[in-house]
Structure 1
Amino acid sequence: MTDHLSIPTPAGTFDAIAAGPEDGRPVLLLHGFPEAAIAWEDVLYRLEREGVRAVAPDQRGYSPGVRPENAVDYGIDDLVGDVVAIADELGWGRFDLVGHDWGAAVAWHTADQHPDRLRTLTAVSTPHPAALAEAHKTDEDQHLRSQYMTEWRQPRTTERKMSANNFEAIRQMFDYRVTPGRIAEYILRLSEPGALTAALNWYRAGKPHGRIGKIDVPTLYVWSTEDVAFGSVAALDTENWVSAAYRFEMFEDVSHWVLEEVPDALTAVLLEHLGAH
């Protein structure tokens, strides 16, 4: 059974779901676009059975209590700062960090900026940012896959397209890999005033300043072969950007929505990763 938390930070109050004993191993799980913390619900239940204390927040823009209007307030340093502030409020000196999609990008940058705070890193779908940047420049396939990011930076136009016909464009993103009930919950949340713009502001905040380096935290990277956003070039190059213990897991015939499509398989490799470190 999940707990519902309100986590106060200097930026505002984050909503979160949590499961597992208070004294269990602390694991923070970060969702991506256009989802919310409930994307991790199935994984949370499985972690709880293993005695893990798992917390999944609705991130900046997704939590009504932390929804600034300006895109500039969604820069990567702000998002990383949120992770650290949430961990501080939870009383977690060191913790395991898991992220999917945009949440994985934030997790990579958190590991780069605050390696001392992380026991392990797990990134799902999104490769190391430097590997992705290189693939975007040199691999035509990845360049084509990433074009949506540029399109979504257009203010107002993107909101109109995504919300038209009861958010049909967002429904189609999930390609029948996520249950209709879960998708309906995401759309209900994105229908709140300012919520869709806040979620898109992650794309509009601009590229991070400075180059992200090699990660010196034990890392698990999970990539799925049917991911429409991230191709194999960046996925396979990611190991060259981790200087600590590294594990790569490839899920065959699984879409981008890994944590909702195959929560059992994902939780199994995550628990093995945690157990090894």
Structure 2
Amino acid sequence: MIEHIGISTDIGRFDALAAGPEDARGVLLLHGFPEASTVWEHQLATLSAAGYRAIAPDQRGYSPDVRPEQPSDYSIEDLAGDVLRIADAVGWTTFDLVGHDWGGNVAWHAAAEYPDRVRTLTAVSTPHPGAYALAMREDEDQQQRSSYVPALQNVQGASKHLLANDAAALRQVYENLVPREHVREYVERFSEPGALIAALNWYRGMKYSGQTGKVKVPTMYVWGTEDVAFGSTAALSTHAWVEGPYRFEMFQDISHWLPEQADEGLSRLLLEHLSEHG
């Protein structure tokens, strides 16, 4: 059974979904944009059934009680710091970390900065930020894939565009590949006053963010060959940024929305990765 919980920290209360025995090995799952904790429903149920305690928080800007207004409050350091805040609040000295899209970026940074806390890393769709930065400098394909970022950094204009006409543009983002019930929930969430601008502030926070170092913990990177945001150049060079055990898995003909589009396959790989590095 998946439960709704609140996680109180020094900066506010994070809403979250949780499943599994409270005293079991902890797995923290971080969503991306434009998503929420709901993206991990299949993985939460699978992890719980396997005996893990899995928690998927609505991250900074997505939880109404943790919604700062300044873009500088959305640096990668702040977002990775939230990972430790949440882990500390639930009593996890060490934990396994999973992230998709922006959540993957946060997970890479947290794993690099806090190897004494992060037991294993699973990054979904998102390559290591160093591999991505190099691709952005040298690969025209990746530059084209990321050409939407400046438009999203204009948060007022982007919010108005995405929510116009019953959120037609926002609905189109999901490419008819995300479950309809999830799309309905996401649209409802982002239609709340201030919610979408807060989520978009992650893009404005990029200029306040430092670099992410190499990762030493056991890492699995999962990428879909039809991902519209991240191309093969960054995906195939991510291995150079991992100094610990590394596993790279590709899903053929799967898009960016891997946790939902390939839910069973991703859950299977996640269980294998966790079991291998117990």
TM-score with structure 2 length normalisation?
A: 0.98
Aligned partner of 1:3 in structure 2 is 3
Distance, in Å, in 2 between the alignment partners of 1:178 and 1:167 is: 15
Instruction: Report the Cα offset of residue 188 of structure 1.
Output: 0.4
Task: Output aligned runs, 1:7-86, within 5 Å.
Answer: 7-86=7-86
CA distance in 2, matches of 1:7, 1:209: 25
Counterpart-to-counterpart distance in 2, 1:200 and 1:229? 16
Aligned residue for 1:203?
203
Q: Return the letter of the residue paired with 1:160.
A: K
Distance apart, 1:209 and its partner CA: 4.3
How far does the alpha carbon of each residue in 1:2-44 deviate from its partner, in whole angstroms, 9 at most, with x for none? 1111101111100001001112210000000010001101111
Aligned partner of residue 32 in structure 1, secondary structure: coil
In structure 2, what is the Cα distance between the partners aligned to 1:91 and 1:36? Answer: 23
RMSD: 0.9
Local SS of the residue matching 1:253: coil
- Amino acid of the residue matched to residue 178 of structure 2? V
Mean CA deviation greater in 87-96 or 20-29: 20-29
Closer/same/farther in 2, CA of residues 110 and 208 from structure 1, 3 Å limit: farther
Report the number of matched residues: 277
**Residues of 1 paired with 2:194 and 2:210: CA distance?**
30
The SS at the match of 2:63 is: coil
Give the corresponding residue for 1:145: 145
Aligned partner of 2:105: which letter? A
2:233 counterpart of 1:216: no
Task: Give the 5 Å matches for 1:96-135.
Answer: 96-135=96-135
**Do the aligned partners of residues 19 and 40 (structure 1) sit closer, same or farther apart at CA in structure 2, a change above 3 Å counting?**
same
Q: Deviations over 1:179-223 (max 9, x none)?
A: 222101001001111000000000011335443221111000000
1:143 Cα offset (Å): 0.4
Once residues 275 and 206 of structure 2 are traced to their aligned partners in structure 1, the CA distance between those partners, rounded to angstroms, is 37
Structure 1, gaps ≥5 residues long = none
The aligned residue for residue 254 of structure 2 is: 254
Aligned partners of 1:209, 1:31: CA distance in 2, in Å? Answer: 19
Percent of residue pairs identical: 58
Contact 2:72 2:208 in 1 (8 A): no
Name the SS for the 1:176 alignment partner. coil
Mapped contact 2:77–2:210 kept (Cα < 8 A) = no
Structure 2 counterpart of 1:187: 187
Structure 1 pair 260–157 and aligned structure 2 pair: CA distance change class (3 A): same
Cα distance in 2 for partners of 1:85, 1:138 equals 36
- Equivalence for 2:90: 90
Question: Which amino acid counterpart does residue 22 of structure 2 have in structure 1?
Answer: E
Q: Residue 136 of structure 1 aligns with which residue?
A: 136
Q: 1:141 Cα shift?
A: 0.2
